[in-house]
Amino acid sequence: MNIVLIGFMGSGKTSTGRLLAKQLGYRFIDTDNLIEQQNGMTVANIFARKGEEFFRQQETALLKQLNGADNSVIATGGGIVLTGENRLLLRELGEVVYLQTAAAEIIKRLDGDTTRPLLSAADKYEEITRMLEIRQPLYQAAANCITGTFTGHPEKSAERILQLLKIGVK
Ligand code: S3P
């Protein structure tokens, strides 16, 4: 069984995922991280040097590589749901949980962040709201279940996810 976390940048996929994996004794996998390792470059550099299209292809290739993984919690990049193919691949991997977060909350959390190439617009609120409008239905379409997140409290998000998936932790 795998748990796959999806959601917008700053929704806490990595922190929550890492914690969940620890609690369950599962392997923790972060797609951005693996893509960085495989390309020997940060995500920001991949976007700058090779472009978004290349990065998206890397995401699809990685989801295919991960097929067959088990007992893993997989945290994904916020744009992984943009293609229909990826949405199907995510569902094939396991239980897909959408960490839903409001635009205002995301802005607070990402304030000062320089690692995310898609958030360079001066008016971040407008940018994030526009991106959320496009992505919200895609996250919902890809997900088996949806949970709100608890700012700064990944342990609460993790607890909620275990409840939703009806998984007990010893
Ligand atoms: C992206 C989100 C990032 C990373 C890349 C693109 C996006 O991941 O994959 O910068 O399109 O939303 P996080 O959601 O982990 O920040």
Domains of the chain: 3-165 (3.40.50.300)
Q: Are 65 and 22 in contact, with CB atoms under 8 Å apart?
A: no
Q: What is the pLDDT of residues 81-131, one digit of tens each?
A: 999 999 999 999 999 999 999 988 998 888 888 888 888 777 888 889 999
**Which residues are CB-contacts of 132 (< 8 A; sequence separation ≥ 6)?**
8, 103, 106
- The pTM is what? 0.96
User: Which H/E stretch holds residue 105?
Assistant: helix 103-110
Measured in Å, residue 129 CA sits from the centre of ligand 1 at 15
User: Residue 25: pLDDT above 70?
Assistant: yes
Question: pLDDT at position 111, please?
Answer: 82
Measured in Å, residue 170 CA sits from the centre of ligand 1 at 33
Ligand 1 site, CB within 6 A? 9, 13, 32, 43, 77-79, 116-118
How sure is the predictor about 19, in pLDDT bands with cuts at 50, 70 and 90?
very high
Enter the tokens of residue 107. Answer: 């802005």
Q: State the average pLDDT over residues 7-16.
A: 95
Question: pLDDT at position 55, please?
Answer: 98
